[in-house]
Each structure stands twice: as C-alpha cells, then as structure tokens.
Amino acid sequence: LESNLDEMIADDVGFMVPIDEPGLKVNRRSCLWNGLIAVAPGHPFIAQTIEIVVNNIRNRFTSVDYDDMLCPDPVMHVSHSFDTLFTCGPCIFGASLNKVLGRHMQSQFEVGEIDLWQVQRDNANTHNIEVNSDDPRLSIPGRSIILKQNKNDMGAHRFTWEEKNMLFAVTDMPDYDDRPPTKEHYSKTHSKAGVYGVKKLYKDSLAADELIEFVIKHQVI
C-alpha cells in the first residue's frame, strides 16, 4: 500500500478495484484486477461473482461454455487469449459486475466512478425506465470506483485513484518477490490447441448439472 487506507477509501465508497489489461488491444477492457479489492460486506458484486464461479466450476465449464455465456457477440480475442482468467480470475470478475449492471458481460469499464444506472439512462429516450424491486443494484452501498492500472509506472505495477490523484498500491517491483513457489501456476491449464477446460483444469469431468443461487438479505436493526 502506498496511501493511508482511511484517506484512500472514503466513507462514501463501497467498492473499489483496478481495471485490468486484457482487451486493451481491441478496446474492450472488461476485466478487473482481483488482486486488490476494497469492498463492503455482503456486496452484490462479490455475491454475483462467487455464484457464477461456483456454478461454472461445478458444471465443468470449458471455453465453449464461456463463449456461450458471453453471447450475443462474444469478444473471442479476449475469451480465448485469456481463457484461464474466466475460471476464477479478473475476466469472470468483470463479467459478473457487468451482469449486475445489466450490461453485456464484456462491456468495457472506464476508470473512475461506475454509473450503476447507465443502461437505464441510455434507454431513457426510447423506453420507460423500470427497475424491479429485486434489482441487486438497489442494494449496492456507496460509490463504486475503478482504479487506473499502469503496469510500467517507474518500473513497477501501480494503481491510482485518478479523481483524487492518489497512488493506492504498487506490486511487481523489480527483484522483489516474497511469495512462496507454487507447485503449478494456473497458466499451465491454457492450451494453444484444443478446448480450454477439457484437460488439465478439473480433477474429473463430472458436472453437477445444477445451479446454486446466492441471495443477499439485508436486515435492518
């Protein structure tokens, strides 16, 4: 961390995460860097992400299933080049947020505050605005902020809140890594040929063939 948390995460902020790099080449940065998340308890963004990840893994999703999930008009450059990040990484995180927002699951994120009702505002001139009482966005606390990502900021990977011009955190500093070695990095599950998820990803091919739903209930005391 490069800033005081109390100063960085204001009282009116309920969610904060950096944008990630996948999709940059095709102008569809729809992935969010899940290595740094500031979030209020019971947040709909996190509940939706966990629900999708758990269901997809239990049902043994492959890249074919992810393409189907991202229809209509999936951005296959992202879903195939970064297929491993759709299992439980930045790309499924971003897709889950987009689903809560009522947008295409690969809609691009912009640095700054998320407009939770952008879809309704965009359609205001052609449709009557209707919001269901169970819309998860009604339960989102505070502002939702996307941090700027720079993977080569003075030789390191830095995250900045542009609105406040504050440097939040830094990682990937040269010659500095205190993480213990892992047996196998998840990138090894990616295949240059064939369908991602058929081999090397799951311990077996037994699909649950069912869906689990996460429901957030707020109790007012």
Contact 92, 86 (CB under 8 A): yes
The string of pLDDT tens digits covering residues 121-136 is 888 777 777 888 889 9
Q: What is the pLDDT of residue 7?
A: 80
In which domain, by residue range, is 42 found?
13-123+136-189
Instruction: Identify the band that residue 218 occupies on the pLDDT scale cut at 50, 70 and 90.
Output: low
Q: What is the pLDDT of residue 221?
A: 38
Burial class of residue 213 in the structure, from the number of CB atoms within 10 Å of its CB (0-12 exposed, 13-18 middle, 19+ buried): exposed
**Is 155 part of a structural domain of the chain?**
yes
State how far Cα 39 lies from the chain centre.
Answer: 13
Domain count, the chain: 1
The string of pLDDT tens digits covering residues 169-187 is 888 655 556 566 666 666 6
**Is 34 part of a structural domain of the chain?**
yes
> Is pLDDT above 60 for 220?
no
Q: Residue 123 and residue 203: Cα distance in Å, rounded?
A: 45
**Is 69 part of a structural domain of the chain?**
yes
Q: Residue 14 and residue 138: Cα distance in Å, rounded?
A: 13
**Is 29 part of a structural domain of the chain?**
yes
**Is 200 part of a structural domain of the chain?**
no
**Is 129 part of a structural domain of the chain?**
no
Q: How many CB atoms sit inside 10 A of residue 109's CB?
A: 22
Q: What is the pLDDT of residue 185?
A: 64
**Is 212 part of a structural domain of the chain?**
no
**Is 75 part of a structural domain of the chain?**
yes
Q: How many CB atoms sit inside 10 A of residue 111's CB?
A: 16
pTM: 0.88
Contact 198, 60 (CB under 8 A): no
> Is pLDDT above 90 for 51?
yes
Inter-CA distances, 122 with 73, 102, 150, Å: 20, 12, 30
Q: Strand pairing partners for 143?
A: 13
